[in-house]
């Protein structure tokens, strides 16, 4: 049942395919004609202003919002099918969970295994091993019996990351995972993401910290309601493109001397 970790690499098909996505909330357009295409074994940064539609793109990829137009495939499958195969793990921007819920760190990470268990969700030895392994990787094994409500924000983020690891998904969708996380945890998470990539997983991360993109993203998607630029970080992540993404203006207007007054 459980694929060995190396297996993420052997299948060299496209992990995430999105084409011509349009999403609107009761008539207000949040995304139009957005698309991206990610192979196995890469980290892709998703960069854009607040309200640019990053979270919306994640939700559309997860099938939580129905796009009015466009196609989405994950591992070559429709989203619902890919989810049933435990192919996608999603960590939302704010988990929106009740922190006083009576579950321990161990219980939460075990939830990553539910999809691979039988109807009664009785854990087998392999499930326990996967949970232990995931907790080790995020350095939370010592806190496994702590109630979820007693964790710090960073520890909670790591718990949900461990759940995604335990799920053994080949595609990770992480919406602003570095929010409210201290430097040490940030480093740990960045290292983990690089390991995930080397294991052949595909990671889409939205972030506001542009240094993250330079440090560990192979690809970058700049969005503002649509994909403004997309490609290898070294080629696409230029000052002009960044200015365009955050200023909403074409780069020549920003760099050109004629328009400097207009900007102020």
Q: Is 54 in the site for ligand ADP (CB under 6 A)?
A: yes
Q: Is 89 in the site for another protein (CB under 8 A)?
A: yes
Please, which residue, 50 or 100, has the CB nearer to Mg ion? 50
For the chain, what is the radius of gyration of the CA atoms? 19
- Phi, psi dihedral angles at 31 (to 5 degrees): -145, 140
Closest listed residue to residue 212, CA positions, set 48, 22, 47, 76:
47
The C-alpha angle 132, 135, 138, rounded to 5 degrees, equals 150
The C-alpha angle 190, 77, 22, rounded to 5 degrees, equals 80
Please, which residue, 52 or 108, has the CB nearer to another protein? 108
Q: Is 263 in the site for another protein (CB under 8 A)?
A: no
- Find the binder of ligand ADP among 30, 135, 151, 221 (CB under 6 A): 30
- 58's CB contacts (< 8 A; 6+ apart) are 90, 92, 173, 175, 204, 206
- Find the binder of ligand ADP among 56, 159, 167, 241 (CB under 6 A): 56
Closest approach of another protein to the CB of residue 117, in Å:
8
Q: Is 97 in the site for another protein (CB under 8 A)?
A: yes
HSE-up of residue 215 (Cα within 13 Å, Cβ side): 13
Please, which residue, 56 or 155, has the CB nearer to ligand ADP? 56
Which region among 22-30, 108-116, 177-185, 204-212 touches another protein (by CB under 8 A)?
108-116
Q: Is 95 in the site for another protein (CB under 8 A)?
A: yes
Strand spans (E) along the chain: 16-25, 28-38, 42-47, 69-74, 88-91, 171-175, 202-206, 219-223, 227-232
Closest listed residue to residue 224, CA positions, set 68, 57, 53, 70:
53
Closest approach of ligand ADP to the CB of residue 225, in Å:
8
- Find the binder of another protein among 68, 150, 152, 259 (CB under 8 A): 150
x/- track of binding to Mg ion for residues 55-84 (CB under 5 A): x-----------------------------
- Find the binder of another protein among 8, 90, 178, 193 (CB under 8 A): 90
């Amino acid at each position: 049942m459980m694929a060995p970790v190396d297996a993420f690499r052997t299948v060299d098909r496209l992990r995430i395919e999105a084409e011509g996505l349009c999403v609107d909330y009761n008539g207000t357009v949040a995304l139009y004609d957005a698309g991206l295409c990610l192979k196995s074994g890469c980290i892709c940064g998703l960069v854009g202003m607040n309200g640019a539609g990053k979270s919306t793109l994640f939700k559309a990829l997860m099938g939580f919002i129905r796009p009015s137009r466009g196609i989405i495939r994950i591992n070559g499958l429709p989203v619902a099918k890919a989810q049933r195969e435990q192919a996608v793990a999603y960590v939302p921007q704010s988990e929106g969970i009740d922190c006083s819920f009576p579950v321990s760190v161990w219980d939460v990470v075990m939830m990553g295994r539910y999809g691979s268990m039988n109807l009664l969700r009785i854990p087998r030895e392999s499930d326990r091993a996967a949970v232990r392994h995931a907790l080790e990787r995020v350095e939370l094994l010592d806190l496994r019996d702590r109630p979820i409500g007693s964790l710090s924000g960073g520890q909670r983020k790591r718990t949900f990351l461990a759940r995604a690891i335990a799920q053994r998904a080949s595609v990770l969708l992480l919406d602003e995972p570095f929010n409210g996380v201290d430097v040490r945890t940030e480093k740990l998470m960045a290292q983990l993401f690089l390991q995930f990539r080397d294991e052949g997983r595909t990671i889409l991360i939205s972030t506001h910290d542009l240094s993250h993109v330079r440090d560990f993203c192979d690809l970058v998607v700049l969005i503002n309601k649509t994909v403004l630029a997309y490609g290898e970080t070294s080629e696409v992540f230029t000052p002009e493109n960044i200015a365009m993404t955050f200023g909403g203006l074409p780069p020549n207007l920003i760099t050109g001397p004629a328009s400097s007054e207009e900007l102020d």
